Structure 1
Amino acid sequence: MNRTNAALLACLAAVPHADVGAATSATAATQALHCERLFDSRSGRVLGEHTVLVRDGKIVDVLPGRAKLAEGTGSTVLAGRTCLPGWTDLHVHLGGQSSPQSYSEGFRLDDIDFAYRSVGYAEKTLLAGFTSVRDLGGDVAPHLRDAINQGLVRGPRIFAAGKSIATTGGHADPTNGYNSELSHLLGPPGPTEGVINSIDDARQAVRQRYKDGSDVIKITATGGVLSYAKSGDAPQFTVDEVRAIVDTANDYGYKVAAHAHGTEGMKRAVLGGVTSIEHGTYMSDEVMSLMKQKGTWYVPTIYAGRFVADKAKVDGYFPEIVRPKAARIGAQIQDTAAKAYRSGVKIAFGTDMGVGPHGDNAREFIYMVEAGMPAATALQAATIRAAEVLGVDDQGEIAAGKRADIIAVPGDPVADIGNVMAVDFVMKDGVVYKQP
């Protein structure tokens, strides 16, 4: 943690302070946004012309038509554009980004290198229209969150998991792939490092995440695609271990997200009470039924699946132990998302960005629509539904009293989902970061 703090301090020293100050300076004056169209995330309908009034980082009123403004009110005219609530990506990793060098970089680079990179990744994500993210695994994220909240760097609002919780040899065991000499030197990781093997370990690991300043708990309920291990779908927790994590998380007001590809691991995670299943590649009818029964959310991350399946075709992009998992599992996720949507499972938006390039997050909308989800439903998944997953009631819609997180795209994204790739206005907490 000390190394990460030092890394972020070094990053901040390199930030052009004049630019950041301009973006983060608050004003008590009322601002008006004239939107040619407005997406109502509760109904999923695109409404006609509206004027949105913003003051002190909050939406104070939403008026139909081109409202007459009081003297001194600043205004921005978003002609030809649709205003939407700022999007939320419920599954990102801002501390890194996939490349053929990713595995060796873990040994060659220092925390400071990853921290420098995270600052740029955060800004790209914000400028793509994502005013909030849930970072599901990475030591940099809680500190990056704090720097953004303090106005030191630009980025989305971060709900940070910190270190994911795994079992020995599981997807988030940080020593996977180490040789015997290095493993012996470092010793087996334990709950402090997020690796558990018992109910008591499970409780300790959650409490450590609380101590580290996490906002949410992430577990790796099955093997993973990109970890240096053979299985991508074997279950890796008992139901009792999951339940101990969830119960302890509830003590601290945390929700629990479960990375899961295999059917049995998903089933155990749902029975254990997790809030969401991430990826869900081999989700069975039984698991879908359990999820509907218990109200468990599904975050498909179709983008990541398609990205790794594509890169598995490239010689040398992944280690050979990873390549067959990427080809097999990655290609399946979009079909699973389609089946889950038809079945009535609750779906929210997430990309697993960091697997693919940060800033390209909105492409997930296009893949969701390809899977059979109506465009309006896909947009709701990243707005009002994402807020439900997070357990917050101050974002996810353009309405009086909510955070002034507002973005705009040319045209009508419900009529043409491709418009999501052209975000040209971004406001977060009443501060404009991008405009036509």
Structure 2
Amino acid sequence: MTLILRGGKIIDGTGAAPFLGDLVITEDRISAVGPSAETPPGATVVDATGHTVLPGLIDPHVHITWGETITNPRSWTAFSTLTTEQEAGFLDVTSKAARQFAEGAYIGRETLRAGFTTVRDVGVAAGYSDVVLREAVKNGFLGGPRILASGGGIAMTGGHGWDLGVVEADGVEAVRLAARTQLKAGADVIKIFATRAGLAGEVPGGPEFSIEEMKVICDEVRQRGKHTAAHAVGAEGIKRAVLAGVDTIEHGCYIDEEAAELMAERGTWLISTLHPYDRQATRATALGYPPYAAARSAEIMEVYPRNLRMAIDRGVKTALGSDSGIPGLTPHGENAREIVLFSRLLGVSPVEAIHRATGAAAESIRIGGTVGTLVPGKLADVLMVRADLETDIEAVLDLDNIRYVIKEGATVIANGEWKI
């Protein structure tokens, strides 16, 4: 079966200049991209005039089994919004992992509807609910994005994330066992909580794990052909994680020049997450978060865009993550807001921002050989948006503009309507 998206503005995800042309999909692969394509017998042709055709978006930092969506403000997990006595009893007697799986099934569908065909879940999934969700999507039981799963993640005893279902471990042998256990359960990536959060404590984002502890985790993961992601907010924790061999640094709000140069030298990726801090700076108090949350987020947003710009200028490879799933702040389905913020706050072109949410994002999570760019031979993960995203990047936030979503050659959204 052949599908042709004809006459759209093509942003191919490589960072190259857009052009008007045709995209041809044959079975599950991109077979041609160029100014003009022949129409083979039996091909389906979609008029893409006035639309942007780009790779399916990739979000390397989500929490896909908890939190709200843009269409459903209720959540069974994390800070639950279920309040009646009957609902409270339900929470007491049911498995959190089962609830997260059910919620993740809905979240996955909403994420795919927003144009994200791949996500990487980065921790706090109870009972490996993200691993089960990954398999359900992969085997066709559920509609959703391609998922790279991490399970619960690993934190030191009492460290950041201890109350969110992570595995607590201290010392090299304990963290080795924790890593092996999560790999055995099917994790694609191991999340390491290398620092405190950016909003609490006397030293925001202060270091927690030692280099030796994180190195053991990285060595175990690398031997299995998987990769690691480190929650790292402060500069010292970032440097420790990089020296330990971590593959991606999540957040990196207080990255300094020394850390940036170390990351560039070692090829460590930085995953930008402007979205949650931007929201917390303005909405935390109204949503019931402690008063310090808004103040600390405002402090972070004073320096974070500038620090990201510095890191990029020093050669740090950077991709964009939304941190979707934080209750009240980053609802699933609004993942593309990170793209908009990155373009606006760092002053980069929409084409560059899209590159960091497609081709670069795919490389950051080690799937760049199969998806992320509109290149013949790659899997056909494709998005068609009713707007010129080169000049109006905010149009990607309006779901009505998401006209076609294609995942591995299968059309899941056509003319804005579900096909599965």
Please say whether Structure 1 and Structure 2 have the same fold, judged by a TM-score greater than 0.5. yes
Do structure 1's residue 342 and structure 2's residue 313 form an aligned pair? yes
Is structure 2 residue 148 aligned with structure 1 residue 159? Answer: yes
Alignment equivalent of 1:363, drawn from 323, 337, 345: 337
Q: Is the 8 A contact 1:96 1:118 kept in 2?
A: yes
Farther off after superposition, 35-44 or 382-391 = 35-44
CA spacing shift, 1:295–1:384, aligned 2, 3 Å: same
1:158 aligned counterpart, secondary structure: strand
Asked whether the equivalents of residues 278 and 297 of structure 2 are also in contact (C-alpha less than 8 Å), the reply is: no
Q: Per-residue displacement from partner, 1:56-110 (whole Å, max 9, x unpaired)?
A: x112233432x33222222222221111011100100011116898765399534
- Percent identity, aligned pairs only, is 34
CA distance in 2, matches of 1:155, 1:362: 16
The answer for the alignment partner of 2:418 in structure 1 is none
Describe the shift of the 1:36–1:323 C-alpha distance in structure 2 as closer, same or farther (beyond 3 A): closer
Aligned-pair CA distance for 1:216: 0.8
- Give the whole-Å Cα distance in 2 for the aligned partners of 1:234 and 1:93: 23
1:61-100 alignment runs, 5 A limit: 61-65=32-36, 67-97=37-67
Look up the equivalent residue of 1:432 and give its one-letter code. Answer: T
- Residue number in structure 2 paired with 1:312: 284
Please, which of 192, 212, 225 is the counterpart of residue 219 of structure 1? Answer: 192
**Partners of 2:66 and 2:78 within 8 A in 1:** no
Report how far residue 53 of structure 1 moved. 2.7
| 8 Å Cα contact 1:41/1:85 also seen in 2 | yes
| Cα distance between partner residues in 2 of 1:399 and 1:327 | 40
- The answer as to whether partners of 2:250 and 2:271 remain within 8 angstroms in 1 is yes
SS at the partner of 1:45?
Answer: coil
2-structure distance, mates of 1:273, 1:150: 33
Output the CA distance in 2 between the equivalents of 1:416 and 1:391: 30
Q: Secondary structure at the match of 2:389?
A: coil
Q: Which is further off, 86-95 or 407-416? A: 407-416
- Whether the 8 Å contact between 2:134 and 2:146 is mirrored in structure 1 is yes
Render the CA deviation track for 1:359-392: whole Å, top value 9, x for unaligned. Answer: 0111111111122222221111111111211212
**Residue 25 of structure 2 contacts residue 409 of structure 2 at CA under 8 Å; is this kept in 1?**
no
Matching of residue 122 in structure 1 with residue 108 in structure 2: yes
RMSD: 2.5
In structure 2, do the counterparts of structure 1 residues 237 and 302 end up closer, same or farther at CA, with 3 Å as the change threshold?
same
Give 2:364's match in structure 1, choosing from 389, 394, 403. 389
Segments of 5+ residues of structure 2 without an aligned counterpart are 83-87, 416-420
Q: Which amino acid aligns with 1:283?
A: I
Aligned residue runs from structure 1 range 171-186, under 5 A: 171-174=160-163
Q: CA deviation at 1:35?
A: 4.0
Secondary structure of 1:396 counterpart? coil
Cα 1:423–1:332 shift into 2, 3 Å: farther
- The answer as to whether partners of 1:170 and 1:223 remain within 8 angstroms in 2 is yes
Equivalent residue letter for 1:353? S
Give TM-score scaled by structure 2 length.
0.86
Aligned to 1:113: 99
Which residue of the other structure, out of 96, 112, 117, is the alignment partner of 1:131? 117
Deviation at 1:242, TM superposition (A): 1.1
> What TM-score, normalized to structure 1?
0.83
Q: How many pairs align?
A: 388
How much has 1:301 moved relative to structure 2? Answer: 0.6
Task: Give me the whole-angstrom Cα distance separating, in 2, the residues matched to 1:80 and 1:323.
Answer: 40
Which of residues 397, 400, 412 is equivalent to 1:433? Answer: 412
Equivalence for 1:251: 223
Secondary structure at the counterpart of residue 48 of structure 1: strand
Instruction: Tell me if the contact between 1:230 and 1:322 (Cα under 8 Å) persists in the aligned partners.
Output: no
- Report if the CA contact (8 A) 2:282-2:294 is conserved: no
